[in-house]
Amino acid sequence: MEDLTERVAFVTGAASGIGFAMASCFAKEGARVVLADIEVGALRHAEQELRSAGADVVGVQCDVSSRDSVAAAARNAVEMFGKIHILCNNAGVAPAGPLDESTPEDWQWCLGVNLMGVVHGIQLIVPGIKAHGEGGHVVNTASVIGLVAPPEIGIYAATKYAVVGISETLHAELAPFGIGVSVLCPSFVNTRLHEGYRNRPAALGREPDEPNAIMAAQLASGSDPQVIGERVVRGIKRGDLYILPHSDFKMGFKGRANAILEAFDE
């Protein structure tokens, strides 16, 4: 998809961070943008900011862990703009801590947002992209943690490994329909990912007394989200399957890949 003008982009987790950056970059390319996010206040602020910059944009509240919520948001998007061309399954959370100390609620929360949020987007929006026949693109936000997994973030890694695999499968399945697929695997980006508990349902556990200090420091020193948004636009235009903005995990991935290759029986 070389030209995004007048295309409609549906972005989840769009009120802040990477999602907002992608939405902003799409708008600069002349696309119409649907901002989908669970936080109403942040969503309205983001919508106003983009509209003030001249963007054709609408905000819809959406809890990606809920199939019904995603379905309603998608219907609203189609009612406003007629169709969707670009789907960005971007919303994510990152509980941290040793796996043996994790709770069923930790798993339910992270799987619901990071994995089922992607599944819901694919199942509810991709059929419409196929049906209108104008081509399109799907961007699934994973992470370098979906390629090589360090300690203390195993639940997040499990979901992001899954998103990488789903994206690779979807890439092959949608190619005959003229629909591209990219999996975005960033390293540390200056976002509020460490504060994700602010949107955690009360039934799935309380917010910690304070955000994870190590993760907060790493994210604060990370890349500007706008750089990631611009890289996503390039990836869509070029049809990249893998969007890897950072090289800081490259050696770790090489080590993992070499260990796997060496483990194969001759």
The one-digit pLDDT tens for each residue of the chain (266 residues) are 889 999 999 999 999 999 999 999 999 999 999 999 999 999 999 999 999 999 999 999 999 999 999 999 999 999 999 999 999 999 999 888 999 999 999 999 999 999 999 999 999 999 999 999 999 999 999 999 999 998 999 999 999 999 999 999 999 999 999 999 999 999 877 666 656 567 777 888 766 645 566 666 666 666 788 999 999 999 999 999 999 998 888 999 999 999 999 999 98
> H/E element holding 261?
helix 250-263
Cβ-count burial 65-88 (b if 16+ within 10 Å, e if not): bbeebbebbbebbbeebeebbbbb
Strands 136-141, 179-184: pairing kind: parallel
Q: How far apart are CA 15 and CA 7, in angstroms?
A: 20
pLDDT for 176 equals 97
Give me the residues paired with residue 9 across strands.
33, 86
pLDDT value for 206? 66
Separation of CA 208 from chain center:
24
- Nearest 5°: the CA angle 86, 89, 92 is 155
Q: Which residues are catalytic?
A: 156
**DSSP bridge partners of 60:** 36
| Residue burial 152-167, b: 16+ Cβ < 10 Å; e: rest | ebbbbbbbbbbbbebb
The predicted structure's pLDDT at residue 224: 86
Q: Which residue has the tokens 């943008």?
A: 33
pLDDT of residue 40: 95
Degrees (nearest 5) of the Cα angle 189, 35, 141? 40
pTM of the model: 0.92
Place of tokens 């009612």: 79
Sign of CA dihedral 91, 117, 210, 194: negative
Contacts of residue 19, Cβ cutoff 8 Å, sequence gap at least 6: 11, 12, 13, 35, 37, 88, 90, 91
Q: What is the pLDDT of residue 207?
A: 61
3-state secondary structure of 116: helix
State the pLDDT at residue 223: 76
Q: Please state whether 5 falls in left (phi above 0), alpha (psi between -120 and 50) or beta.
A: beta
Q: Are 88 and 10 in contact (CB under 8 A)?
A: yes
Structural domains present in the chain: 8-263 (3.40.50.720)
The C-alpha atoms of residue 61 and residue 72 are separated, in whole angstroms, by 9
